[in-house]
Structure 1
Amino acid sequence: MQRTLHASGSPWEPLVGYSRAVRVGPFIAVSGTTATDATGHIVGEGDPYAQTAQALRNLRSALEALGVGLEHVVRTRMFVTDISRWEEYGRAHGECFATVRPATSMVEVRKLIHPAMLVEIEADAIVPSP
């Protein structure tokens, strides 16, 4: 099967050796995605809702670069630095996936790659056959 890689331009991608998203056949895996804007700055510092919404916009962009949309997502994983604020993370996720309703997990982690980052989201998508 053909393997298609998508890079977002993040400085961590070449350093760590990964792609923002990879498509093999109908399967797409999106790497952990954070709340950075096009210039690499963190959006919504200190705000779990704003960071989750930005991370999901970035995730959507990665999917679109591979020719699919949020409706193809079957699984997300949210890594958060403060689980006590789960409703703020969850509200942004729920607004984004209200009709898609993928399987998901929210797991608290000690910290992410940058101290200002509060959430990192992974996604898996499956593209139906035409």
Structure 2
Amino acid sequence: MEPRIGMSRAVRKGSYIAVAGTAPIGADGGNVGKDDVYAQTVRCLDIAEAALEAAGSSLQDVVRTRMMLTDITRWEEAARAHGERFAEIRPACTFVEVSRFIDPEWLVEVEIDAVLD
């Protein structure tokens, strides 16, 4: 979707890297994890991690994550996936509820900020 929207998955300015809102889109262009917040969060984090790596970074450099869900009562499903990646890194993290995403099958999107040392 990046070219269509006119955006970048990740932008690096000096030591700062911003990863844009990342949806649970599979390599085939279809959605991953229908009605499964955990699976969708894992996919979002996979995409975001690859974007960080392409920008010369890694999860170790992450200082903030934003977890956006269409149903905040399911936050623990997203938190499980987040904890699997960030238990030792412990970035600042915010969980928020949004009314919807571009695709109604998306239950979660993730944004990440990283700073290189």
What band does the TM-score fall into relative to the shorter chain? over 0.9
2:19 corresponds to 1:41: no
2:16 corresponds to 1:27: yes
AA partner of residue 88 (structure 1)? E
How far apart in 2 are the matches of 1:114 and 1:59? 18
Give the aligned CA root-mean-square deviation in angstroms: 0.8
* Higher relative contact order structure (alpha carbons within 8 Å, sequence separation ≥ 6): 2
> Structure 1: which 5+ runs fail to align?
1-11
**1:79 counterpart residue number:** 68
2:87 corresponds to 1:98: yes
The superposition leaves residues 13-32 of structure 1 with CA deviations (integer Å, 9 ceiling, x where unpaired) of: 22221100000110000000
Larger radius of gyration: 1
The superposition leaves residues 48-95 of structure 1 with CA deviations (integer Å, 9 ceiling, x where unpaired) of: 000001100110000011111100000011110000111101111111
How far apart in 2 are the matches of 1:93 and 1:63? 16
| 3-state SS, counterpart of residue 101 of structure 1 | coil
TM-score in terms of structure 1 length: 0.87
2:92 corresponds to 1:110: no
**1:15 counterpart residue number:** 4
Shift of residue 126, structure 1, vs aligned partner: 0.3
Shift of residue 41, structure 1, vs aligned partner: 1.1
| 3-state SS, counterpart of residue 43 of structure 2 | helix
Q: Kindly, what percent of the aligned residue pairs are identical?
A: 55
2:105 corresponds to 1:121: no
| 3-state SS, counterpart of residue 51 of structure 2 | helix
> Structure 2: which 5+ runs fail to align?
none
